[in-house]
């Protein structure tokens, strides 16, 4: 079965609209884990517009003390500040994302052919934390040989174009096939496969059916939107069912 990691950035963004401690990022993380999420994901950005750096020790402690069989995943652009932060926190998984601080959200993966040597240096350093290293990847199978050469453990398929085709079934099918071809190339090279961005209960089911090798999906916006209707615990159960949970 594909694991579900709940991205808490939207929860943190809502909290940050007021100088108040609610909604609680840690509290909703606890609800997600109790409902069966395999882990929690955050993507702290330099301006702390959603996840704050002060959230990270609390979330790590939540998992270590109450859910030691679950995982903490920290995403981000590997600046020196980011690398020093994850070296201190030591999450279970580090996901490298090539986003600019001014971007509203991540919108592309790495060019492994162009950036392979830089990524190799970064990955070698961060593997000393003991974390699994995942790197954001576009749907491009021609990049997978260069990706494998960096020493990463997993790619994270950027599923934004697939999610954006929610009202165009033909386009969604085309994007799904690109993702599948990339996953097949990565899997053939021994790489693990994660996926994330704009995934919903509806589009997650065909994604998993077409690419059963996906080890983990990280979902934030779609799950938070679903939770406004169903509540966090029920939304986690709904997304886990879409991932193939009994």
Residue 117 known to be catalytic: no
**Which residues sit opposite 197 in a β-bridge?**
none
Crossing angle (nearest 10°) for helices 80-89 and 112-126:
40
3-state class of 93 per DSSP?
A: strand
71, 75, 156, 175: which one is catalytic?
Answer: 75
As to burial, measured by CB atoms within 10 angstroms (0-12 exposed, 13-18 middle, 19+ buried), residue 162 is buried
Residue 92 known to be catalytic: no
Rounded Cα distance, 230 and 228, in Å: 6
Residue 43 known to be catalytic: yes
Rounded Cα distance, 139 and 13, in Å: 28
List, by residue number, the catalytic residues. 43, 75, 197
């Amino acid at each position: 079965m594909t694991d579900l990691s709940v991205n808490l950035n939207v929860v943190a963004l809502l909290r940050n609209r007021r100088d108040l401690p609610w909604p609680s990022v840690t509290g909703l993380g606890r609800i997600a884990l109790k409902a069966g999420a395999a882990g929690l994901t955050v993507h702290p950005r330099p301006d702390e517009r959603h996840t704050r750096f002060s959230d990270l020790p609390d979330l790590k402690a939540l998992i270590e003390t109450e859910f030691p069989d679950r995982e903490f995943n920290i995403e981000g652009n590997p600046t020196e500040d980011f690398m020093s932060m994850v070296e201190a926190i030591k999450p279970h998984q580090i996901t490298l994302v090539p986003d600019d601080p001014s971007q509203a959200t991540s919108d592309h993966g790495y060019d492994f052919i162009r950036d392979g040597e830089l990524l190799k240096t970064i990955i070698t350093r961060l593997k000393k934390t003991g974390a699994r290293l995942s790197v954001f990847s576009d749907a491009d199978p021609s990049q997978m040989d260069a990706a494998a050469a960096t020493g990463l453990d997993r790619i994270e398929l950027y599923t934004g174009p697939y999610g954006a085709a929610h009202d165009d079934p033909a386009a969604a099918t085309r994007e799904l096939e690109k993702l599948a071809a990339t996953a097949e190339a990565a899997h053939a090279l021994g790489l693990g496969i994660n996926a994330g961005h704009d995934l919903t209960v509806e589009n997650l089911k065909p994604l998993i059916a077409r690419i059963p090798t996906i080890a983990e999906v990280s979902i934030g916006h779609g799950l938070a939107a679903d939770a406004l209707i169903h509540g966090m615990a029920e939304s986690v159960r709904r997304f886990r069912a879409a991932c193939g949970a009994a």
